[in-house]
């Protein structure tokens, strides 16, 4: 069994992904001003994607997520972790991001996170994604073929690590919405697994 700990993104959010019906014109995920429907993203609450619970932070003024530009995410004290999961999406198709995890014991684990493209065809419902019912266009009109999606990208490492810091690489097309650490539940045995990016 796996336990989960949300990692706060306080002070790191620098971009806007979601708009409400009344402010669609403020969308900016891509060059065309498209955005997620904010009413379908539970900011300030939990969202389960790919079987992993993520806590979406409350919207911080104009910002609701992280455009990855080398930020350092400090991890609150927690039991040793077995891996990390990112709730993310790729602008302009699939995107990769180098991520470095540092442990309190001096460990350094380089990882590669992969975010799938944020737009999926109508009717698709991937198991590792949260797909919204519609895409916001800045002019207020509706086009039906595409739906915006958030994806779960998980990585595991070989042995438990008392994680202290995640340092993101630089890729402004990789968008990070939430982070969750993975732990062995109390009393559960977890077989070692090779470190890899999901």
pLDDT tens column, 73-112: 999 888 899 999 999 999 999 999 999 999 999 999 999 9
- The single-letter DSSP state of residue 23 is G
For the full predicted model, state whether its pTM sits above 0.85: yes
pLDDT tens column, 150-191: 999 999 998 999 999 999 999 999 999 999 999 987 765 544
153: tokens are 């990208």
Q: What is the DSSP string of 102-166?
A: EETTS-EEEEEEEE-BSEEETT---TTEEE-S--B-TTS----SEEEEEEEEEEEEEEEE-EEEE
How far is the C-alpha of 181 from the C-alpha of 45, rounded, in Å?
17
How far is the C-alpha of 193 from the C-alpha of 196, rounded, in Å?
9
pLDDT (mean) for 40-50? 95
């Amino acid at each position: 069994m796996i336990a989960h700990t949300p990692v706060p993104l306080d002070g790191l959010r620098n971009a806007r992904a979601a708009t409400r019906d009344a402010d669609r014109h403020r969308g900016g995920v891509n060059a065309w001003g498209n955005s997620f429907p904010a009413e379908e993203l539970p900011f300030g609450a939990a969202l389960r994607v790919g079987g992993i619970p993520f806590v979406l932070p409350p919207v911080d003024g104009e910002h609701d997520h992280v455009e990855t530009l080398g930020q350092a995410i400090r991890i609150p004290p927690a039991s040793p972790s077995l891996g990390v999961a990112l709730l993310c999406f790729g602008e302009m198709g699939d995107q990769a991001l180098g991520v470095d995890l540092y442990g309190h014991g001096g460990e350094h684990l380089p990882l590669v996170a992969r975010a799938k493209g944020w737009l999926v065809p109508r009717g698709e419902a991937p198991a590792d994604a949260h797909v919204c019912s519609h895409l916001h266009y800045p002019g207020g009109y509706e086009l039906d073929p595409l739906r915006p999606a958030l994806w779960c990208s998980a990585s595991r490492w070989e042995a438990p690590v008392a994680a202290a810091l995640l340092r993101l690489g630089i890729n402004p097309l990789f968008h990070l919405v939430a982070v969750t650490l993975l732990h062995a539940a109390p009393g559960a045995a977890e077989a070692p697994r090779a470190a890899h990016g999901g």
